[in-house]
C-alpha cells in the first residue's frame, strides 16, 4: 500500500524549444530525485503541464516515468481533467502503467455542483482500484470541494487523502471533524 512518508515532489514536464517533451531531461530529473532520496514524484500534475499536454502525451509521461523509474520511487500520476470520461481514462492508464496513486484535481472550468463532484469521484473510484488523492485548488479551477462533500467521500472509502492549497489556513478547522483519515495539505507561502 502506498504511504505518505518522506518527500514527495511535483515534477515539471521539461519541454524542448519546439514544445516537444524532453524525455532525456525527464529521465535525468527522475534519476536526480531517486539519487537525492525523494520518496515519490507526481508526474503530470498541475506543475507538470497537465492542462496543456494532450491526452497521448499525458499517458506517455505516466508510462515513461514508471518505466524509467523501474520501481525505484513511488509514482503519483496526475489524472484529473474537466471531463469525467477523460479523468477515468487517465486514471485507468495510470493503473495500467503501474502508478502508486492518482492525483485528481477538481474538474476545472465547468464548475460542477457538489453532487456532480461526488458522482465524478465515485465513478472513478468504482471503476479503478487505485489510491486517489483529491486535489482542491479553487483559485485555479473555479471549483471548490466543500468539507461536506469530502466527508461523504470519506464515508464511502473513496479517497485516500486530500491535497489542498489553502488561501485561508482557517479552512483547516472546517475539515477537521468532517472525516477521519490522514490529510495531505500543501500550504503555499508567497514571499
* Domains along the chain with CATH numbers: 8-186 (3.20.20.70)
SS3 call for 93: helix
Q: Work out the pLDDT band at 136, boundaries 50, 70, 90.
A: confident
pLDDT at 4: 64
Nearest one of 54, 66, 76, 65 to 134, comparing CA atoms: 76
Give percent of the chain above pLDDT 70. Answer: 79
Could you say which of 108, 122, 163, 176 is catalytic? Answer: 163
121 tagged catalytic:
no
What are the pLDDT digits (tens) for 168-179?
656 555 655 444
Q: What is the pTM of this model?
A: 0.84
135 tagged catalytic:
yes
Could you say which of 95, 108, 121, 135 is catalytic? Answer: 135
The torsion region of residue 94 among left (phi > 0), alpha (psi -120 to 50) and beta comes to: alpha
Amino acid at each position: 500500500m502506498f504511504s505518505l512518508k518522506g518527500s514527495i515532489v511535483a515534477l515539471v514536464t521539461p519541454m524542448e524549444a519546439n514544445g516537444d517533451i524532453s524525455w532525456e531531461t525527464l529521465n535525468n530529473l527522475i534519476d536526480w530525485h531517486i539519487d537525492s532520496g525523494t520518496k515519490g514524484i507526481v508526474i503530470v500534475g498541475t506543475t507538470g503541464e497537465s492542462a496543456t499536454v494532450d491526452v497521448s502525451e499525458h499517458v506517455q509521461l505516466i508510462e515513461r516515468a514508471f518505466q524509467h523509474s523501474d520501481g525505484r520511487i513511488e509514482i503519483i500520476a496526475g489524472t484529473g481533467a474537466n471531463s469525467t470520461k477523460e479523468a477515468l481514462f487517465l486514471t485507468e492508464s495510470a493503473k495500467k502503467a503501474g502508478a502508486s496513486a492518482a492525483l485528481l484535481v477538481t474538474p476545472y472550468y465547468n464548475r460542477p455542483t457538489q453532487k456532480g463532484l461526488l458522482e465524478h469521484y465515485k465513478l472513478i473510484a468504482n471503476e479503478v482500484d487505485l489510491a486517489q488523492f483529491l486535489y482542491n485548488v479553487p483559485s485555479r479551477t473555479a471549483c471548490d470541494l466543500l468539507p461536506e462533500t469530502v466527508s461523504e467521500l470519506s464515508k464511502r472509502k473513496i479517497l485516500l487523502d486530500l491535497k489542498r492549497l489553502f488561501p485561508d489556513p482557517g479552512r483547516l478547522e472546517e475539515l477537521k471533524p468532517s472525516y477521519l483519515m490522514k490529510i495531505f495539505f500543501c500550504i503555499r507561502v508567497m514571499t
